[in-house]
Structure 1
Amino acid sequence: MIRFDIPDDETLLLRDTAERFVADHYGLAQRNVMLEQPPEQVPPHWGEMAELGWLAAAVPEAAGGLGLSAAQLVPMLEVLGRGLVLEPVGPVAMKCAATLARALPDAGAELEPILSGERIALVAEGAPGAPVSAVKTGGALVLSGVAPLVMAGPWAQVFWVVAELDGAPVLMRIPAEAADVTPVRLVDGQVAARVCFDGVRCAQEDVVTGCAEALAYGRDMALVGVLAEMSGLVDALHGATLDYVKLREQFGRAIGRFQVVQHRMSEMFIRREEVHSMARLAAEAMEGDDAAFRGKLVSAARVKIAKDARVVMRDAVQLHGGIGVTDELAVGHMLKRLLVLSQVEGGRASHLKRFRALIGL
């Protein structure tokens, strides 16, 4: 059940801090300057984000983090999504750090430089149906395979590679310089990489076995982060469109006074509220111990939010007209970010398939 409790002080502090950060550092002109930088260059505010505690928020206190729940993080992540922030808070904090905290017996030592912002570590996985594989050769393991899309990949110092070894998943710690990293900039301006691990060797002491549960948890946690960002973007798109229809005039009056436009705005509002609720449902599912139940709710939220976001994007473009898809307005950047986030951590089709499997269809 979705709880609509009044947010606690920690949640409000994280949200308010994120709002001030976005207001100070992420105006559209400031963001455009960052987009012009080489893809290998880390955005300038990563250290500040670590100091604010955002990277440690999802990690248990026993591992050196703040021990906050996913539900407590959603408001902050919505603000970062709304602000079109480029730093990889989700891939590092919500996926990599959350996974390592569960997978490593003594996670604190490995996580400390990550949570302090000194090191960027990322989880790298093969494509569905084409996993990275590992074979034993002497006293080491040799990898083979490609991670086709690692968000923020060019900025990583360490990759934690999900590989198959004797039919079971393992995590392998690989220094970034040992892999072949090809930077790419996505349509929304985010940086990613294609990472090839063919022939890369890994020592036995850098292999973590028995990590299937931690990997499943990390994937779901990462998806919650993506859905929270999408929730913030849908809210921003609705707000920007509402402001526009109040100002744009046609036939001598604001287009927002026409009934058909009012119907569209009402539909966008309903979709926004559905996205808001489903993001919180997915976050609350992370609190339970039943992995199958958690998976069903998180995948269901992904399917519903992807559908609603598509409707909001369509109506935002139609009501803005052609300028809505340009980079002159923040709306154009929001549309591109939503399109990318709709595919990150598995798209609608893959999660619909997962949901059907989990309910036995």
Structure 2
Amino acid sequence: MDFRLNEEQQMLQDTVARLVRGEYSFEKRLEFSETELGFSEDFWNHLAELGITAVPFPEELGGFGGTGIEVRSVMTELGRGLCLEPYIQSVILGGGLISQAGSDQQKQQWLEGVASGQLKVAVGLQEPQSFYNLDDVETRAEKSADGYTLNGRKAVVIGGHCADLLIVSARSSGDSRDSDGLSLFAINPDAKGVEKRSYPTIDGAKACDLFLNDVKVGADALLGAEGQAGDIIEYQVGRAISALCAEAVGCMEEANELTLDYLKQRKQFGVPIGKFQVLQHRMVDMMSELEQARSMSILAASVADQDQSLERRRVLAAAKNVIGRAGQFISENGIQSHGGIGMTWEYSFAHYAKRLIMINHQLGDDDHHLERFAALLQAS
């Protein structure tokens, strides 16, 4: 098979690469992470002006009509720059849930804003007790005459502190951990009863916990059919996993380049430490892990927008497992190759390592997806 990008796809990737190189230095990233917003509003606006935020949306909504392959091109370059902007949360996951579950009116109301970058969406699917199981939802949605009343808590909502729209899962029927009975609701973040407790994450982004205390929403806040959101959530999380895998590959590429440059420059006993055979072998292992991760990222991107199937589930679980392990391996061995400087705040490698570790834990770590892959094999 020919895995080379076509002319339009290559142009898209080159555009994002130039933007990241020109405007997202490591020093600026440190500054962005310390702001109240936690990322660069100017950089987000540049992404929107260039149409990057519109990549996965259909052309009738002002989008690019891109697939998982185009998203992979974007996310790989954002990963190389360690960009903090909530692209996956707002464009991929938030926009994807609205696209799949929303009514025509809801799509017209929100999707154009998401595609233009003017509307930022944050998605709350996890809860403190969930541990990667997105069916484990204790937030309740009680139906009333004019809508619903929501009560519960959502954990680690990336970008929730500054979102213009919140999408949360809640249980409208059934018991905790049932796959049936889940519903999706779009909430105004300033609605009465919505409490946000914001904090920085270990990899530099900002998140919040959402507390929903008798939050009243109208019937038009429901996305899709009541109690039928489980399959929609699984499908869109699969697309987000594919995007995370692409971001991880970008991080790994840069981490390996930093490590290789250090081995060439750092001298001991009068010679570059890259001359030592044990470090050469370690570098080869790191490059081998990157190549395997890159291949799995391409495979994940190729199935991201396919109809749901056992094969799609298996590929995404395998990709997340392989890429999670590869990221952990490259982080640990890169730090070993650097020595103490590999853990210093002022040096970028430590931040790549942190991001790779957190990507492994987002939407299920390597152990979780290994178990999922094994269960899916048995199911076939």
| Shared fold, TM over 0.5 | yes
Q: Is the 8 A contact 1:40 1:183 kept in 2?
A: no
Give the structure 2 partner of residue 145 of structure 1. Answer: 152
Cα RMSD (Å) of the superposition? 1.7
Displacement of 1:49 after TM fit? Answer: 1.1
Displacement of 1:291 after TM fit? Answer: 2.9
Give the structure 2 partner of residue 156 of structure 1. Answer: 163
Q: Is the aligned partner of 1:184 residue 2:202?
A: no
**Aligned letter for 2:247?**
E
Give the structure 1 partner of residue 121 of structure 2. Answer: 121
**Aligned letter for 2:282?**
R
**Aligned letter for 2:334?**
A
Specify the SS of the correspondent of 2:42. Answer: coil
Quick one: which of 293, 305, 318 aligns to 1:275?
293
Specify the SS of the correspondent of 1:300. Answer: helix
Q: Deviations over 1:236-267 (max 9, x none)?
A: 11111011101111111011111111101110
Specify the SS of the correspondent of 2:190. Answer: helix
Q: Deviations over 1:281-311 (max 9, x none)?
A: 1111224324322111101111111111111
Q: Is the 8 A contact 1:63 1:111 kept in 2?
A: yes
Distance 2:308 2:206 in 1: 34
Give the structure 2 partner of residue 225 of structure 1. Answer: 243
For residues 61 and 108 of structure 1, do their structure 2 counterparts lie closer, same or farther at Cα, with a shift above 3 Å needed? farther
Distance 1:42 1:174 in 2: 24
Q: TM-score, normalised by structure 2?
A: 0.90
Distance 2:206 2:254 in 1: 22
Give the structure 2 partner of residue 10 of structure 1. Answer: 8
Q: Deviations over 1:203-252 (max 9, x none)?
A: 11211224443322210111111111111111111111011101111111
Specify the SS of the correspondent of 1:321. Answer: helix
Displacement of 1:41 after TM fit? Answer: 7.2
**Aligned letter for 2:256?**
H
Q: Is the 8 A contact 1:34 1:43 kept in 2?
A: no
Quick one: which of 328, 333, 341 aligns to 2:346?
328
Quick one: which of 355, 366, 375 aligns to 1:337?
355
Specify the SS of the correspondent of 1:45. Answer: helix
Give the structure 2 partner of residue 215 of structure 1. Answer: 233
Quick one: which of 304, 307, 313 aligns to 1:286?
304
Q: Deviations over 1:73-92 (max 9, x none)?
A: 21221110010111111111
> After superposition, where does 1:55-66 map in structure 2 within 5 Å?
55-66=53-64
For residues 105 and 116 of structure 1, do their structure 2 counterparts lie closer, same or farther at Cα, with a shift above 3 Å needed? same
Distance 2:83 2:249 in 1: 14
Specify the SS of the correspondent of 1:153. Answer: coil
Give the structure 2 partner of residue 108 of structure 1. Answer: 108
Give the structure 2 partner of residue 234 of structure 1. Answer: 252
Distance 2:206 2:338 in 1: 28
Gaps of 5+ in 1: none
Distance 1:319 1:40 in 2: 31
Distance 1:149 1:216 in 2: 18
Give the structure 1 partner of residue 187 of structure 2. Answer: 174
Q: Is the 8 A contact 1:64 1:108 kept in 2?
A: no
Q: Deviations over 1:184-215 (max 9, x none)?
A: 11112101111111311111121122444332
Q: Is the aligned partner of 1:82 residue 2:84?
A: no
Give the structure 1 partner of residue 272 of structure 2. Answer: 254
Distance 2:309 2:328 in 1: 28
Moved more, 272-281 or 164-173: 164-173
Q: Is the aligned partner of 1:194 residue 2:212?
A: no
Q: Is the 8 A contact 1:188 1:336 kept in 2?
A: yes
Specify the SS of the correspondent of 1:200. Answer: strand
Q: Is the 8 A contact 2:123 2:160 kept in 1?
A: no
Matched residues, number: 359
Specify the SS of the correspondent of 2:54. Answer: coil
Specify the SS of the correspondent of 2:214. Answer: coil
Moved more, 234-243 or 115-124: 115-124
Structure 1 moving runs of 4+ over 6 Å: none
Displacement of 1:63 after TM fit? Answer: 4.3
Q: Deviations over 1:117-143 (max 9, x none)?
A: 221112211322344221113322111
Gaps of 5+ in 2: 131-135, 175-180
For residues 62 and 335 of structure 1, do their structure 2 counterparts lie closer, same or farther at Cα, with a shift above 3 Å needed? same
**Aligned letter for 1:113?**
G
Give the structure 2 partner of residue 19 of structure 1. Answer: 17
Moved more, 236-245 or 54-63: 54-63
Q: Deviations over 1:153-197 (max 9, x none)?
A: 111011111112123221111101121111111112101111111
Give the structure 2 partner of residue 29 of structure 1. Answer: 27
Q: Is the aligned partner of 1:165 residue 2:172?
A: yes
Q: Is the 8 A contact 1:41 1:155 kept in 2?
A: no
Moved more, 284-293 or 71-80: 284-293
**Aligned letter for 1:17?**
T
Q: Is the 8 A contact 2:68 2:301 kept in 1?
A: yes
Q: Is the 8 A contact 1:125 1:132 kept in 2?
A: no
Q: TM-score, normalised by structure 1?
A: 0.94
